[in-house]
Amino acid sequence: MKIVMLGAPGAGKGTQAKMIAAKYGIPHVSTGDIFRANIKNGTELGKEAKSYMDKGALVPDELTVRILLDRVAQDDCAKGYVLDGFPRTIPQAEVLDAELTKLNDKIDFAINVDVPDENIVRRMSGRRSCPSCGATYHIVHIPPKQEGVCDKCGAALVQRDDDKEETVKNRLKVYHEQTQPLIDFYEKKGVLQNVDGTVDSEEVFAAIVKILG
């Protein structure tokens, strides 16, 4: 069972990917993690990726797909995997599709965790984190006992730059331009499944399990 997770930043697809991986005993494959592992282990692919990253350039799609295919060719992926954070663009999806076809393989499900922009802005701009112990809160859903103060260690809570409303809106703009077209791409392939991401994460997961069977 090969699954691609789709959804805007903050839609909760990473959380769902981890839950799917745990339930079905398949790896949660995050491209960020693979890059870090390859660079840390000094592999040839890692060195190649690092040469781009050191210049502040994006790693080319073809190399990203090679690193990804190297990861999913490992024994723990024999029963399948959940891809999180890749593909992000149509060219990446096309390269991945072409390479999988050569291996007589394909993506079985593309699950789109659908959340309207205004919900995401509310969800992310309400996040607060503790710079001292790493605890996270939400001013509406998981507020600290005392406003602006961490329950665990008493440090002052901060809003990460990533979670500021302007940043969230910019990230959504990039998502709509580059990543949202993947929804049509996978719909045409007949593997797209939409789930309502505005409900509780357990309900989202129950809907996904129903799809995967």
pLDDT tens, position by position, 78-93? 999 999 989 988 999 9
Q: What is the dihedral of CA 31, 191, 172, 59, to 10 degrees?
A: 30
Question: Residue 175: which domain range?
Answer: 2-116+168-212
In a domain, 134, yes or no: no
127 is catalytic: yes
Is pLDDT of 56 > 90? no
- More confident of the two residues 109 and 59: 109
User: What confidence score (pLDDT) does residue 88 get?
Assistant: 87
Question: Phi then psi for 2, rounded to 5 degrees?
Answer: -105, 120
135 within domain boundaries: no
Residue 179 belongs to some domain of the structure: yes
Q: Is the pLDDT of residue 36 over 90?
A: no
Which pLDDT belongs to residue 178?
85
Instruction: State yes or no: is 13 an active-site residue.
Output: yes
Does the active-site annotation cover 71?
no
What percent of the chain stands above pLDDT 70?
Answer: 100
Q: How many domains does the chain have?
A: 1
Contacts of 19 (CB under 8 A, 6+ apart): 201, 205, 208
- Reply yes or no on whether 88 is catalytic: yes
Q: Which of 2, 13, 123, 128 is catalytic?
A: 13
**pTM across the whole model:** 0.83
CATH of the domain at 187: 3.40.50.300
Average pLDDT, rounded, for the chain:
92
Both tokens assigned to 183: 């929804």
* Per-residue model confidence as pLDDT tens digits over 143-158: 999 999 999 999 999 9
Catalytic residue, chosen from 47, 79, 160, 173, is 160
Spot the catalytic one: 18, 50, 88, 122: 88
Question: Is 23 part of the annotated catalytic residue set?
Answer: no
Looking at residue 109, its pLDDT comes to: 98
Q: Which of 23-32, 49-58, 170-179, 182-191 has the lowest mean pLDDT?
A: 49-58
